[in-house]
Amino acid sequence: MNRTESIAVTSGVSPMTRAAAVLRVTSGNFIEQFDFFLFGFYATSISKIFFPTTSEFASLMLTFAVFGAGFLMRPLGAIFLGAYIDKVGRRTGLIVTLSIMASGTILIACVPGYATIGLFAPALVLLGRLLQGFSAGAELGGVSVYLAEMATPGNKGFYTSWQSASQQVAIVVAAAIGYGLNQWLSAQQIGAWGWRVPFFIGCAIVPFLFMLRRSLQETAAFEARRHHPQAREIFAMLLGNWRIVIGGMLLTAMTTTTFYLITVYTPTFGKSVLKLSTSDSLMVTLLVAASNFIWLPIGGTISDRIGRKPLLLAISVLAIFTAYPALFWLADAPSFARMLIVLLWFSFFFGMYNGAMVAALTEVMPVEVRVAGFSLAFSLATALFGGFTPAVSTYLIHVLHDKAAPGYWLSFAALCGLCATLGLYRRSAGSNASAASSA
């Protein structure tokens, strides 16, 4: 632990308790994931309202392409907003990211359909997704670094795991609302206007999230730093550490792909591919999110005890060799029970891997560009892997005529994570050896 982090530990986050600080800093993650899940779950309805075509496949692909386009904005948000957070502080920066995220959410909730305003409808939905993506590019990194900087000695994995754990709460709430609407409204009502209800609920809780964020205190680690680099310095340092950023991106590929496969894509996969009921798909998603919430802090805690590298390698290998066989078994005889078993298995992958990965990524990034570097690596992974998982999965199933085809994509992402873990920790060992010999 370096001097700055030692100061953070001894000075704490007074006067708030650490539990309250975790709640306040992760609150913005709720609205981010709440809205992202809703967009994926109601993709079929959104495709008919905003992207009507003669082909259901084409409409769905356009919808998922717009969903994925938001992730292409994440690297830009990571660079510019991440640099801003590294310069002005975690608290102020996270309030800005929440403001931009809320703007995109409100826009998507309120845009009239294609039948009312024509091409302006899909254009405005796209704008809303781009705003969300730009904000999310730095939101996750800012939250993860805040948690890492306030963590007590030997518990960084446990603390940073709550970044993603907070997102699982959003999935549970969104899935529960969707399940309730499915019981109370007809399919026609949900397709016409009912899908907007959860989005409006998300808009209604935004003021409460702002209240929580505004009560945040700056981390002691940031305040103890003598030099806060300007944006130009941060960009130069990011460029100079491009190998670490690319390695971090590949390390994150596994977790982003798994997450969007088992949450955002699950309802569409269950309904459109496996032909299960909407209620079954929603219930599986809700239970998977609850499982994620349990495994994430367990994974973080185990990585604190045995190290990040062994856990990352073990889970990557398991995913490589079991992802496709598990989905093949599910597609061979689709049922609620089989879908639940397979996705709970993938949930185990996600929770254990991500619990170690977030802490690992904060540790390999240079402290001066910790938020920007973390955010850029994570955003690139989400843009190139996770965010397009629904579109890639839909395309692979269509082209290969194989309902288990998303397993190939997940195995590839796990292979990327395996190679990145070996590469980053070999580089880290080499850097430590060089430092020791110099001393």
Question: Could you read off the pLDDT of 293-307 as tens digits, one per residue?
Answer: 999 999 999 999 999
Within 13 A of 97's CA, how many CA atoms are on the CB side? 39
Residue type, 100: I
Phi then psi for residue 387, to 5 deg, are: -60, -30
Residue 376 DSSP code? H
Of residues 156 and 25, more confidently modeled? 156
Alpha-carbon gap, residue 439 to 434, rounded angstroms: 9
Domain count across the chain: 1
Specify the amino acid at residue 184: W
339 part of a folded domain: yes
> Distance of CA 301 to CAs 16, 45, 243, Å?
23, 40, 28
pLDDT number for residue 122: 86
Q: Do residues 364 and 248 touch, judged by C-beta distance below 8 A?
A: yes
CATH number at residue 88: 1.20.1250.20
Amino acid at site 138: A
Whether residue 157 lies inside any domain: the answer is yes
* 183: in domain: yes
* C-beta of residue 258 within 8 angstroms of C-beta of residue 353: yes
In a domain, 437, yes or no: no
Dump pLDDT digits (tens) for 311-350.
Answer: 999 999 999 999 999 999 999 999 999 999 999 999 999 9
pLDDT at 28: 72
Give CA 65 to chain center in angstroms: 17
Q: Is 17 helix (H, G, I), strand (E, B) or coil?
A: coil
Structure tokens at 219: 């981390």
Residue 6 forms part of a structural domain:
no
- Distance (Å, whole) CA 87 – CA 229: 6
Q: What is the pLDDT of residue 352?
A: 96
Using an 8 Å Cβ cutoff, are 47 and 63 in contact?
yes
Three-class SS state of 405: coil
pLDDT tens per residue across span 64-100: 788 778 878 888 888 888 878 877 777 788 888 888 8
Any domain includes 16: no
3 domain-assigned? no
| Torsion sign across C-alpha atoms 397, 402, 403, 406 | negative
CA distance 260 to 278: 18
Q: Which domain holds residue 389?
A: 27-220+228-431
In a domain, 306, yes or no: yes
**Are 136 and 74 within 8 A, CB to CB?**
yes
pTM of the full predicted structure?
0.78
